């Protein structure tokens, strides 16, 4: 009886694929049972025998001792002005929108005074009024879109005292260099000939 000839596999005459048996299946070869056939199931946490046992420790503590009078004669004191301390229950991050607006407005005014004294600026003008000559305005940098801040999306939100919180787009093409981020408080010098866009010529930062 002659032996069967092996069929050569070439691109023209590919060898037919044979179905793998369950014993030679790759899923069976790399199953958890093939790697760990003799593993015993773990015990339940409630039936552990090493409850309360120190498994490992680092360093040594010799004779710790505590002493005190049980809090007798101890009186807590508030540090700082009373108006800045919490004396009753307070919900964190539940501030009212009006309170947040007041704090931000106060912050713009405070930094505006610092900018005015440091750079020796004149009185601030409104961002909403047209100005043919260069004026100095105060406000907070914002973005007019949901994307990242870029040179075409920069707006200035004016302060409450001079601009009543009005916004105006900024043209930064005349600035040689600048670095801005949303929420940054700045003073700008520029022209606003139409009342709809301010062409910035100088930037004063904190």
Q: Is the pTM of this model over 0.75?
A: no
Q: Residue 120 is part of a domain; what is its CATH number?
A: 2.40.50.140
Expressed as residue numbers, the domain containing 198 is 91-205
- 43 in any annotated domain: no
- 132 in any annotated domain: yes
What pLDDT shows up at residue 185? 94
- 25 in any annotated domain: no
- 86 in any annotated domain: no
- 71 in any annotated domain: no
pLDDT digits (tens, 9 = 90+) for 82-114: 777 777 787 878 888 888 889 899 999 999 999
Backbone torsions φ then ψ of 139, nearest 5 degrees: 180, -170
How many domains does the chain fold into? 1
What pLDDT shows up at residue 77? 76
- 108 in any annotated domain: yes
- 15 in any annotated domain: no
- 121 in any annotated domain: yes
């Amino acid at each position: 009886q002659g032996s069967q000839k092996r069929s050569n596999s070439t691109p023209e005459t590919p060898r037919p694929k044979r179905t793998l048996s369950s014993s030679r299946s790759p899923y069976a070869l790399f199953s958890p049972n093939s790697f760990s056939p003799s593993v015993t199931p773990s015990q339940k946490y409630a039936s552990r025998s090493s409850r309360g046992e120190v498994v490992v420790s680092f360093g040594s503590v010799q004779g710790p001792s505590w002493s005190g009078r049980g809090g007798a004669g101890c009186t807590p004191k508030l540090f700082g002005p009373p108006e800045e301390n919490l004396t009753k229950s307070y919900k964190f991050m539940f501030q009212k929108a009006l309170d947040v607006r007041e704090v931000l407005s106060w912050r713009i005014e405070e930094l505006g005074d610092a900018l005015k004294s440091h750079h020796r600026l004149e009185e601030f003008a409104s961002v909403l009024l047209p100005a043919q000559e260069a004026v100095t305005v105060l406000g907070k940098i914002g973005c007019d879109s949901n994307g990242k801040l870029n040179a075409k999306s920069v707006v200035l939100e004016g302060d409450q005292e001079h601009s009543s919180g009005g916004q105006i787009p900024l043209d930064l093409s005349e600035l040689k260099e600048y670095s801005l981020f949303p929420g940054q408080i700045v003073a700008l010098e520029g022209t606003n000939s139409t009342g709809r866009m301010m062409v910035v010529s100088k930037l004063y930062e904190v």
